Amino acid sequence: MSLVLLVLFIHHYGHFVCVVLSLWRIVQRDYGSNDGDGSKANMMPALDIFYSLVLCQGALWFIWVWISSGAMWLVVSLRRACKFPEKWGSISVSEYLLDTLEKCWRDPMSIHGRKVINYAVDLLDSDSQKDYLSGARMLDTFIKLDADVRSVILPSRPKIQKLIDTVGSRSSDREIRELAARIIAYLAGDIHLTQFPGAIRCISSVLDTTLPYWNNQQGHNHYSTQSKSKKSFYSKEKLIFHVRNIEERRANKVKAQEGDFQQDELNNSSTNGSKGAGWNELILQGMTILEKLVADQQNCSDICSTPGLLPKIMAPLNSETLIQDISINAWADIVNGSFKVLHRLICVPEWTGRWVHSEIASSEHAVSNLEEILDEGNRNVEELQMRAIEILTELALDMQTDLSSKTKEILLKKQLQIFLTDGEPEEHDSKFITERLKVTAGKTLALLAKTATVSALVVREYENIVEVLDAKNKIIYRTIAAEILENLCIHHKMDKEHVKTILLPKVLREVLTTEASESNVSALGDDAENHQLSALGNDEEKQLPKHKRQMKSADQANEEQTAMMELQEAFLSLTLVICTELISADDFDDVARKVAPAEGGFVAKLKTIIEENCEDTANSLRIVKLCGQIAVRMMRRGQYSAHFKDQKFVETLSKASIIMSNLESCMLFAGTDCGTKKTARPLLSDLVKEAHVLVA
């Protein structure tokens, strides 16, 4: 036993002992006397050299230990920066560092600009199942962190093909299939099925729930470190061993100081134990893939022409126990995914959309399920109610679809009930869903208000819809209410007196008081902050959380600015429709003078709006054209000519026409006026010419 302890002591502390003894001997230099023996004359210099070499060896060993420790802490720090779970993150980062080290020894230039994302993408080409899994895990994590994985992986078609094949492989491990499905779902918006043979078959196989999930409990040993050997200063096994010790010590220290410690934000995102374990996660990702694929019309044709795929997508809608089963959250998620795909397919033009229309409308059970979902009072099904409203609205808008009047009436009543309600739940998440549901109901109601038969039912709530225009309500609700009223004014015979005395004054007051956000102020801040953001290119993985917060703030500012512009556009469009379709020029003049008593106040406001929106964006172009159309209509009376001359309105409109001419030309070429918002016509140049003539 003593011998074993001695061996262990020498193994662990031999380097320290050698260094201490050598240092002691060099300091003492009591090597003994040579007693005149010539053979011992060189003994002292030799011993000095020997002990010095031992000290140098010890110094090199300490440097090696220091470098090794630095590598261990680098693994820990990089894993945490990348938000990799401890379960497999340390192994993946260690392999990345060792692989980078090996490439550096062979060719230092080969690692220039190489990041963890690039390494993960390269692993997708590996023939090793273990390396392939590691790469997929890392990419899945980066996708959840909103890193730019798309630009790295899209140029490599073979990698995408391999991921698609993995999704369709029934013999593959469960985790690999789920990871591959999530990555493909992320890329699906940029995928064209014709470029990837067998892709639609692989995706369709994910929705085949009749197969037993024989390998549902399969999993990899996350802590396995057996791999091909790496030529480096230290073995991968030893590095990972020390890294785990560091992780454990740090976790224990935090536990002692702060109590319960949550190691990683993304631990819950690992596939083992997630809410989508088993077939549910694969089906959800399959629906997500299809939802993004149908953004391309050719993909829609391929999906609908694939035998047996559409019945799989419609299976939840045709289920006889749909209403009872949606109380299960996992099943409700699948139904919601199915409804999203169906809604996208219905909106596709030509035969594809019409075929899906007929498939749903011809199924009494499908329509009945949609109606029953509308009647559900449970907040947990509000997401499904949104999808049901969207699908039924598309069916109601299609004149060739034989949707019963009863179903249309049920839909309209539900839309009005949701959009005009003032109640808001207390929970933040539920409030968010309720707001989205209200917006969905309002937007679909605006579409239905275009049809003469339906608008007659909506007009009964005319006064309540007018009240939504008040400034106390949210911007998005006011915008939708203005769109509904505009469609009612166009497609229904309104009470002109009420429009003149109630609606028009309210709308003109909103036009005078509503101001869009400063368009010239960058939401990202000053140049210094933008320079800091650009530095992310060299340290992307470590800066992901900070970058995400900054981008979120910028997106929020842009959304607020866009919302204000859309509100302003909606009020201007409603004003133009009222003065064009419902009331005379004299009546409009009377209301405008009462609302803006200052001499030329309304004309000055129109000019200000044009100046604020004088930039080449679609929203700004529509706003400027609406102002121009309203101004031209006012100029035709002649009495406003002096006001327009004093304000130099025509010069301002002409300047905007020059700035926006390129955008207008592109929209004419692209034919973008096929949607609900007309942007390309009338041409700004035509409005300027007519304004010049009228003012002169």
599-610 confidence digits (pLDDT tens): 678 888 889 999
pTM: 0.75
Residue 694's pLDDT is what?
Answer: 84
Tell me if 572 is assigned to some domain.
Answer: yes
Residue 524 has pLDDT above 90, yes or no: no
Tell me if 667 is assigned to some domain.
Answer: yes
3-class DSSP string for 582-643: HCCHHHHHHHHHHHCCCCCHHHHHHHHHHHHCCCCCHHHHHHHHHHHHHHHHHHCCCCCHHH
- From residue 228, give the alpha-carbon distance in Å to each of 51, 234, 313, 443, 555: 39, 14, 44, 58, 45
Residue 534 has pLDDT above 70, yes or no: no
Q: 315: Cβ–Cβ under 8 A, 6 or more apart, which residues?
A: 338
Q: Assign 150 a pLDDT band (cuts: 50, 70, 90).
A: very high
Tell me if 651 is assigned to some domain.
Answer: yes
Residue 441 has pLDDT above 80, yes or no: yes
Tell me if 497 is assigned to some domain.
Answer: no
Residue 525 has pLDDT above 50, yes or no: no
Most confident region among 207-216, 219-228, 460-469, 553-562 by mean pLDDT:
460-469
Determine the average pLDDT of the residues in 251-262. Answer: 49
Residue 62 has pLDDT above 80, yes or no: no
> What span, in angstroms and rounded, lies between the C-alpha atoms of 169 and 165?
6
Which comes out higher in pLDDT, residue 344 or 601? 344
Percent of the chain with pLDDT over 90: 27
Percent of the chain with pLDDT over 70: 73
Tell me if 46 is assigned to some domain.
Answer: no
Which phi and psi angles does 493 have, rounded to 5°?
A: -80, 105
Tell me if 574 is assigned to some domain.
Answer: yes
Averaged confidence pLDDT in the chain: 78
Model confidence pLDDT, tens digit, residues 667-696? 777 665 555 566 667 888 888 888 888 877
Which comes out higher in pLDDT, residue 110 or 445? 445
**By residue range, what is the domain housing residue 569?**
564-696
- From residue 12, give the alpha-carbon distance in Å to each of 43, 232, 236, 246, 306: 31, 22, 20, 19, 67
Tell me if 148 is assigned to some domain.
Answer: no
Residue 521's pLDDT is what?
Answer: 35
Model confidence pLDDT, tens digit, residues 68-103? 666 666 777 778 888 888 788 878 888 888 888 788
Residue 73's pLDDT is what?
Answer: 64
Residue 13's pLDDT is what?
Answer: 61
The domain tally of the chain equals 1
Side chain identity, residue 354: R
What tokens appear for 404 in the block?
Answer: 């019963």
Q: 58: Cβ–Cβ under 8 A, 6 or more apart, which residues?
A: 15, 18, 19, 22
CA nearest neighbour of 185 among 150, 147, 215, 158: 150
Question: How far does Cα 112 stand from its chain's mean position?
Answer: 30
> What span, in angstroms and rounded, lies between the C-alpha atoms of 397 and 411?
12
Tell me if 638 is assigned to some domain.
Answer: yes
User: Is the link from the previous residue into 425 a cis peptide, with omega within 30 of 0?
Assistant: no
Please state, as a whole number, how many other Cβ atoms lie within 10 Å of the Cβ of residue 583: 19
> What span, in angstroms and rounded, lies between the C-alpha atoms of 214 and 204?
19
